[in-house]
């Protein structure tokens, strides 16, 4: 959970910003905190990414660009801000789960930097679905809240996934995080829930239920496919959650 000490809170946020984004932050002072304990702040990194996307959308709208182009630029901005970290995980997971016949082969494919047909298709649909949802929402103020909800709530389940699901292998980024405390996972989920509230009670509830269903489905799939979580699976978890929240927002907040 978030520490009581302001210096430790700052250290956790900087650690997550340094890892989950490409912002030039100095995460050198960890204040004695482990990266696993800092995972409550993963949704905070999502907030920073969301603000970048919303700013680009608002600027594009100010320049009278069509909603579709504004939405594509906003999605591109979020990908640049995050270094396409989760998009990379989604494509690797799609390639591994879709192309490998054995657990070992799936993990081998997921470590391969080359992208295959499954990964390419997953990336295309991810970008199109997110951009299409933002274009349907259209109003810059509503796009802001939709992006905040999607980026924050999309990252909120990741610490819980690390807490509940065993690593698929002993090395790699996800395994290196270590054991995420239960309180840390709960705090991240609470931040995700708060980010959904501006969408309104109906949208917030629908998004929360869909995120829970996606969490459970991917957990079962990952355990059956590769025996647990990897960094790539966490990326797929975030991407799926982000898409679901944006689709809910588009269905209930779209501009008339």
CA–CA gap between residue 201 and residue 205 (Å, rounded): 6
Collapsing DSSP to helix, strand or coil, 139 comes out as coil
Question: If you ran DSSP here, which 8-state letter would residue 180 be given?
Answer: P
Collapsing DSSP to helix, strand or coil, 21 comes out as coil
Collapsing DSSP to helix, strand or coil, 167 comes out as strand
pLDDT in the model for residue 100: 80
Mean local confidence (pLDDT), 61-87: 97
pLDDT tier at 29 (50, 70, 90 boundaries)?
low
CA–CA gap between residue 79 and residue 65 (Å, rounded): 20
Q: Let me know: does 38 contact 7? Beta carbons within 8 Å.
A: no
| Phi, psi angle pair for 167, to nearest 5° | -65, 145
Residues comprising the chain, all counted: 256
pLDDT tier at 1 (50, 70, 90 boundaries)?
low
pLDDT in the model for residue 30: 59
CA–CA gap between residue 33 and residue 2 (Å, rounded): 11
- Burial status of residue 34 (CB atoms within 10 A of its CB: 0-12, 13-18, 19 or more): middle
Mean local confidence (pLDDT), 199-228: 96
pLDDT of 204 strictly over 80: yes
Collapsing DSSP to helix, strand or coil, 34 comes out as coil
Q: Which residue has the tokens 């990964």?
A: 119
CA of residue 55 relative to chain centroid, distance: 19
Mean local confidence (pLDDT), 70-84: 98
CA–CA gap between residue 103 and residue 224 (Å, rounded): 9
The dihedral of CA 145, 134, 214, 113: what is its sign?
Answer: negative
- Contacts of residue 64, defined as CB under 8 A and 6 or more positions apart, other chains included, come to none
pLDDT of 255 strictly over 60: no
CA–CA gap between residue 61 and residue 251 (Å, rounded): 21
CA–CA gap between residue 53 and residue 76 (Å, rounded): 8
- Give the global pTM: 0.93
Q: Which residue has the tokens 């992006």?
A: 147
Structure tokens at 196: 């959904």
Q: Let me know: does 87 contact 97? Beta carbons within 8 Å.
A: no
């Amino acid at each position: 959970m978030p520490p009581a000490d302001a210096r430790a809170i700052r250290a956790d946020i900087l650690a997550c910003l340094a890892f989950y984004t490409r912002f030039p932050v100095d995460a050198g002072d960890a204040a004695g905190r482990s990266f696993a304990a800092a995972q409550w702040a993963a949704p905070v990194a999502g907030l920073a990414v969301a603000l970048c996307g919303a700013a680009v959308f608002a600027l594009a709208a100010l320049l009278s660009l069509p909603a579709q182009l504004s939405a594509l630029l906003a999605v591109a901005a979020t990908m640049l801000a995050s270094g396409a970290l989760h998009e990379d995980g989604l494509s690797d997971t799609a390639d591994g789960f879709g192309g490998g016949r054995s657990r070992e082969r799936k993990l081998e494919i997921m470590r391969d930097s080359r992208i295959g047909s499954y990964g390419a298709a997953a990336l295309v649909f991810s970008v199109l679905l997110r951009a299409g949802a933002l274009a349907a929402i259209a109003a810059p103020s509503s796009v802001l809240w939709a992006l905040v909800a999607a980026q924050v709530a999309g990252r909120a389940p990741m610490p819980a996934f690390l807490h509940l699901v065993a690593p698929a292998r002993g090395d790699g980024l996800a395994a290196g995080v270590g054991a995420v405390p239960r309180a840390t996972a709960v705090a991240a989920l609470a931040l995700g829930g708060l980010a959904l509230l501006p969408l309104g009670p109906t949208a917030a509830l629908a998004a929360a239920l869909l995120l829970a269903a996606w969490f459970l489905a991917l957990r079962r799939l990952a355990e059956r496919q590769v025996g647990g979580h990897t960094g790539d699976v966490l990326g797929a978890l975030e991407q799926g959650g982000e898409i679901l929240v944006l689709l809910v927002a588009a269905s209930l907040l779209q501009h008339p």
